[in-house]
Amino acid sequence: MKIFVDTAKIEEIRKAKDWGLIDGVTTNPTLLSQSGKPWKEAALEILAEVPDLPVSLEVIDTTAQGMIKEARELSKLGKNVVIKIPFTTEGLKAVKVLSQEGIKTNVTLVFSSLQALVAGKLGATYVSPFLGRLDDIGHDGILLIEEIMRIYENFGIETEVIAASIRHVDHVRRCALIGVDIATIPFKVIEQMLKHPLTDIGLSKFIDDAKKAGIQIL
């Protein structure tokens, strides 16, 4: 499973990159508004920090023509830009055109398997079902992702599925169990994935016992 970090904060991206952990970055207008920088400055910094990894930047226009124009401009910011397009009828028109132009797209705000089927048929590079937001309203986000994966398998659709809106480590574990292509994970959840109290307790005991045994660093 590929791991994307779901943030626009450069310090978080740098840390996750230093750990050798990330395969991509996803942002959205909310995350960019939390970056503490003007959006374009933040976006350029991210693109330069991970020049070989896909970075999703979202359009804000709501018309197909507007989204296409915005996507073409955003694409000029870096060769690793992926255009995030909301799942609307206008967004779908934009996805079709952009796919034909070879511009990578990530169809976002997906909440049903039929939305994902359509995005896949139109040639989206990625599709982002929001599992946390579905769980919030009493649905099963993981079940949606499983359905999308099955539908893509049925029809040989090559669009990669990004499990988005991940809230906690158990979401990540369940995504890995069902074999989703990618999970885009908030930085704090990535940190939590790396921690286990028994590892810390175990290490501390080994260090104490090494001293007792007189073991020295060679």
User: Known catalytic residues?
Assistant: 84
**Contact with ligand E4P (CB under 6 A) among 133, 147, 151, 193:** 133
By rule CB under 6 A, what string of x and - marks binding of each residue 97-116 to ligand E4P?
-----------x--------
Stretch near ligand E4P under the rule CB under 6 A, chosen from 26-34, 91-99, 140-148, 191-199: 26-34
Q: Is 130 in the site for ligand E4P (CB under 6 A)?
A: yes
**Contact with ligand E4P (CB under 6 A) among 12, 16, 22, 26:** 26
Q: Is 165 in the site for ligand E4P (CB under 6 A)?
A: yes
The burial of 114, by beta-carbon neighbours within 10 Å (0-12 exposed, 13-18 middle, 19 or more buried), is given as exposed
Stretch near ligand E4P under the rule CB under 6 A, chosen from 37-45, 67-75, 126-134, 146-154: 126-134
Q: Minimum distance from CB of 114 to ligand E4P (Å)?
A: 19
**Contact with ligand E4P (CB under 6 A) among 3, 6, 118, 182:** 6
**Contact with ligand E4P (CB under 6 A) among 5, 8, 28, 95:** 28
Whose tokens are 């020295």? That residue is 216
Stretch near ligand E4P under the rule CB under 6 A, chosen from 16-24, 90-98, 124-132, 209-217: 124-132
List 127's β-bridge partners, or say none: 107, 161
Crossing angle for the helix pair 10-18 and 39-49, nearest 10 degrees?
A: 10
Which residues of the chain form contacts with ligand E4P (CB under 6 A)?
6, 26, 28, 31, 108, 128, 130, 132-133, 164-165, 184
